[in-house]
Structure 1
């Protein structure tokens, strides 16, 4: 969201320059970055600033509690995660107008579904490492409020962010050039490609009555490309700015179109989200190597949770069930991976194409209103000569 506002972009770029000019000060990445994060949120929205100040402070206290308490650790751990999930879910229901209250402002939902995942990751770290997981209030606030990844990820791991925080700000000319090129590519995707592709998509979905089969197929493929450029563009910008600030932001897209199975696809598309759910759900429900049945059931659970994470609707729930069943079948049949070196080129690329067909069949769920999604699916059976 920040990256469509030129004032915000200039502010983030300015902060990267300030950090580069103050490399002589060992604490510049910590003190100056926190000041920037807080000032940025304050200028963007006073309500957003107040909410995140309280939200982060409360969760830091919860983090310290898990670091130091010995009694009822598991109970505290589960309870704190439940409170975070329940709180964020309730706020999302306010955003959907299921609940209403005059004090609620939709701006506080900005980035919340990403930041709650970071909060939970820190709680996991505190639970499993105890006193060794301690972090200063300054570093914890920077982790939650890190502006380049605040609204849409990539999702930062607590351990990795803290490791980067301890390193001095070092970035050479080659890294700077690479990061700036990454930002420019992301801007081109977001501002040029996505804007044009969105206009085309809206023209077809809003400018006429019923759709025909070929139009629905075109829109499904077109929308798939649209969300790839949209989200990968944002990730490119976030990675570029994050690295200019001295933090190694993880990749979100790792050649997902060359994934021969859905299991591999979800390690390459929105990789940090898939990694987060696999790491935390598998750790919680399966402390040992899971059997095929356990892995299959957990695949369904994880994909349903990812669907509901995107939105509380029956369409997202069905999307999760659909992908979960396909992943479960891959686990049960032992077809979770394909080694490119051990199969023919035709077989490998054929499997990649099959994976993309499975993804394309459901990707339109992200396409906006339920009416639009249903209209496109209905068009699949509306033959032009029937």
Structure 2
């Protein structure tokens, strides 16, 4: 059986007519950069995320860069984040001349560990008087929020800005002391990626910054158009971070289907969870995704952008699956502190043991609402065969 990691062609059939019906009017309008489609998308995504403002930008990576710029992060400032995430999180920090300061992860959720963050900030700020630390970027990995209550307690204590990297977590909920909030609605701002493989994906690149701060939203809008309010007159040094209207139009169509797609992923994840237990694979060292916030009063504690297991002999298992037609992926095979481009930061293997352990064990399995039960059974059966 051939099982793709993600089947966007199947998904497209669900909304193809809506796109094609809207396309002639869009093309006749001949407005391709920003404009009304982008403004409407910003309002609609902000409503989904429970924030007051959305600012559409060119990609999730650019959303991180422009957020850091708007918060005043400058050369030699220090920004804390996880070493176990996609490159863009730390890359955005470095591109501004700031310095990524890595903090180890929680071994259960793979998200930034509040305990390790507490240790790090205490050591850097209280013990060593490091005044350069300006912000923290917690990454809501795979579709599950970081433990934001504890993280926000620490950032408030030290007066640090918070950018939520929710590139993989659109629609995910979290129970705060003030009530249930969405990913992107807890920090100073949060970012989304609309890369095609995301739960809400464009037909190319796109991203958005979400915030409840009107002044910050104004700064973001200024920065995304080269720092210009009036054409050819520049208030500050910005960049070209604009979202194409075509992508906004497509995303507005797809946004109507997001709830159903998340429900489909949640159902498939529950099926995986049950079958891994019933098959006895969890007794052979396979760990299914930890739903640590389940039962905390939230419905969408995890939106399963990825269904990631921890598996003994992971690399051998992946080859075994591939040989039998099952696609899989590793998010992420090498931690950021071990990457060649960050060698000048002075980290070494062993500095972040939990992140490094995760990099050697995690394996993402196919998950999307269009999957069939037969496909999931084949995957479970293949993994059973591997472990004997």
TM-score for the superposition, normalised by structure 2: 0.23
More helix by share: 1
Pick 1 or 2: higher relative contact order, CA cutoff 8 A, min separation 6: 2
TM-score for the superposition, normalised by structure 1: 0.23
Which is greater in Rg? 1
